[in-house]
Structure 1
Amino acid sequence: MKYQNNFNPTISDEDVFSEIVKEKEYIGYYNLVHQETTAFKDYASGVKQSNVVVIGIGGSTLGTYAIYKFLKYSKKLTKNLYFLETTDPIDIKSKLEAINLNDTLFVVISKSGTTVETVSIFKYIHSLVKIDKNNTLVITEFDSKLNEYAKANDMKTFEIPKNVGGRFSVFSAVGLLPLAIVGIDIDELLGGAKEVYDSFFSKSVDYDGVMKKARLFVEYKNSFNINVVFSYSSRLEGFNKWYIQIWGESLGKVDINSTRQGLTPVGIIGPIDQHSFLQLIIEGRRDKTVTVIKVDDFHSDLKIPQVELEGLGELDYLDNIEFSSLINKQADATIASINNLNDIPCDVITIDTVNERSIASLMYEYELLTSVCAKFMYINAYDQPGVESGKIILKDKLKNR
């Protein structure tokens, strides 16, 4: 008698935790919270340019953008930060036209050192301005072709460790260096990430939350295979984009039984998407979980003024309400409308305030959540063979054009 199946037995929380502890010995992102930041801060303090342009794509930019987007309106930043991450010619041209390239530090980031999009944009920059050691910083693996180029031109380089995957690299030089240069406190970032690290690995609050959430996602993946992050702040638009990459690229895999696995990430912004996607959540198919992210303190006292609008007197109850209070009440209304249905899994994350520790804690928790989900699913969270095949095809097409 022969027997085959396409499912796995349920693995215990303790077994998963044990696997994560083992993995921590050779997967580098876990331990980035312990790193020394002096070299990053020393370099940052010497940058004279007013503008910083990060040239990269995917994991080389998304995490940095997420943190910058969250903090930029609450911090007195010392420099302007821009991202060139697409080969769309209109995007490239319009962004560069708004920047004084002679007062710009170019930060070229590529883990492999041969990323087509990154090298293409860097070549174009070369045609516009003189590129040399005074205005260019390279962040890459130390044995990459890009590192060879940097060394040949006496450019400053920082390393992306081989055991840190691109989409898990935000707390390495990839994110910390550009953020330090523009004036963000990278020690506070690492402090926020370390709080989650300590809580998880000591089996405290974050351990319980991550394990419970990961188990629900995986055990109900055939019913609820779409995971919606509903962020109630435009500041979290960058986080949503980062989440979509780390979730999709890490968890869309073939497992040990050659069964295709995957959880589909959706990132939306409230209250904007209350008027579109919420309809699909409430009355559409029951195939979605919802995570609502709120910000408790927006650092803003902006209020709705007491202005009389003829014919709209019935909305006078809005007068003198702070916009931060309004958006959180909109979030609460969404949460209540979902919970009242009793058939949509929903959880709520409340960020205390807008600072480095808050966004770093959120992102590190999602890195852990991704890794734990992968263990429950018996897949490798850190490779991306489905992406690599497309890169090979692209290079063949370009070489044989």
Structure 2
Amino acid sequence: MEVYLDNNATTMVDPEVFKEMEPFFCHIYGNPNSLHKFGAGTHPKMVEALNYLYDGINAADEDDIIVTANATESNNTVLKGIWIDKILNGNKNHIITSEVEHPAITATCKFLESQGVSVTYLPVNEEGVLDAAQVKDYIREDTALVSIMWANNETGKIFPIKEIGQICKEAGIPFHTDATQAIGKVPVDVQECNVNYLSLSAHKFHGPKGVGALYVQKGYTLTPLLHGGEQMGGHRAGTVDVASMIGMGFAMKLATSKIALAYENNHVRKLRDKLENAILEIPETLVIGGKENRTPNTTLISIRGVEGESMLWDLNQKTIGASTGSACASEDLEANPVMNAFGSDSELAHTGVRFSLSRFNTEEEIDYAIEAIKNAIHRLRAISSSYAYTPKDHVSEL
């Protein structure tokens, strides 16, 4: 049996999404900016896809949604656009973010720091919670942007976006959120939460890879990251990947429906909890950040005495896919920075394993994974030179 539990890294394309995309590879393939019927033939479905994106995050009709290559491009567009508009060409020089953002935010902030920008990285507590009041405390006269993720990619922890949005609105500071890990897992409403910029990536909610979007509220302009043609109203040059845009829109429709969100919150949560509770039956295991206030599909578990990479190797032998954290940093064997930010000791910072489910996982798969995980823990602890191992009376063989 093959069991994929790394859905925060990427998801399978929903077969219904693939059906929507298929005609735009070999049949309706015109450049949408061309004047002939081959180009115009793409327009109805492109408009429909944009409408699905607007509906999925409750954007207003007058707001902009820019199709990008991924959330990384969207994040860079916001941070570097703010840098150009409000820092290089204005009187602002300060950005607020958190210590546990995705590398697409933190690496860009490090670049901006190399250019003289002042960046405040707000800490989280041992439960992975960011206190919204910290944002208010650190806002300065020269603050140009606040950028805080909606949900953490490793722990699933949900941040107080509505409270932060209100603080930023009252202070007159633009607010950006990377909602990549929130779409399709929890309700996302840019109007209710006073969000000015929002990034997302289709492959996180069963859409295709290589396409994302950036929401820009009316009145909040940005210098484009890419210059060239007049695509996306001049906000993002380059011919749009029509098939992927249509796939992203349809995936958004499926993922953000009331039925889909209820399924995530009930069925997927139930499977996640079953997996998690079975692992926690083993001594010296714990959920990083605790169980409260998380997306329903994610758990980051620390297993004392077991290196995360070793656990992944064992699970891979049983055709189970998991992760030690962000896929964008999976080749980095340094201690997990998110776990460090939570205050984990140096040993535990290397022991985190993330399991992230989707609506396509089954209870049979979870049962298989539980057995494999338990056996792997016992095997790896037994050969550890630093862990005092007490063998169980019986360990099942798969």
Give me the TM-score of the superposition, normalised by structure 2: 0.32
Give me the TM-score of the superposition, normalised by structure 1: 0.32
Structure that is richer in helix per residue: 1
Q: Which has the higher contact order (CA 8 A, sep 6+)?
A: 2
